[in-house]
Amino acid sequence: MMAENNQPGRPIFPYQVKQIVTSRLILRPMCDEDIDYFHDIRTRPEVMKWTHKRKIDNDIQETKSWINRFLRPDRSNPPFHLSIIEKTTGHIIGMAGVYTLHPQAELGYMLHPDKWGVGYATEALTAFLQKWWELPRYNQDKASNIEDWLFADAHKENGVSLRLMEKLGFERYTVFVEDGDEIIGLRLRSSLY
């Protein structure tokens, strides 16, 4: 399953997405000005306990370093990390993105707790995934039936996230232990052409 970035079916980066509009949300590339919104989200223990970091950002500098990974991408950090804006308020309420391509493409997301439970993650990620599978890809010109995979993981206790991913079509394929926590690995396959 581990794959080089340029194997058939993998997205070709850089790719500039402008924005994705859904009925209640706008997804657009992250920018430096988003930092205060993300600092608010990333200083909430109920959000951060489910991330790989597990702890809140201690100061704005930590949030800045996190954003910088996506604003100044390198080979392993694709520029496909989007801020989620609530249309009614114009506020950034979260993010969805593929945060790494190495050794495989991995999906991540988080929302502000005040905005949980009204279907925003489902709405944002449905649109995000549609765009993801539409990206220009290596060997797109070939008329073969090329497959690609998107991976994600979630703590075994993160029932909302597991429910969300399974609703989006992800399947559970492995379980591993990270820092003493049981983590479920999930994957989503697309037949691209």
Least distance (Å) between residue 87 CB and ligand COA = 15
User: Smallest distance from the beta carbon of 10 to ligand COA, in angstroms?
Assistant: 23
CB closer to ligand COA, 35 vs 121? 121
8 A C-beta contact, residue 87 and residue 24: yes
Alpha-carbon distance 116 to 94, whole Å? 10
CB-nearer residue toward ligand COA: 121 or 129: 121
Closer CB to ligand COA, 146 or 164, in the complex: 164
95 contacts: CB under 8 Å, gap ≥ 6: 30, 38, 81, 82, 83, 84, 108, 109, 110
- Which chain residues interact with ligand COA by CB under 6 A? 47, 50, 109-111, 116-122, 154, 158-161, 163-164, 167
Distance CA 94, CA 38 (A): 7
Which residue has 């970091």 as its token pair? 53
In the complex, least distance from residue 9 CB atom to ligand COA, rounded to whole angstroms: 24
Nearer to ligand COA, 110 or 127 (CB): 110
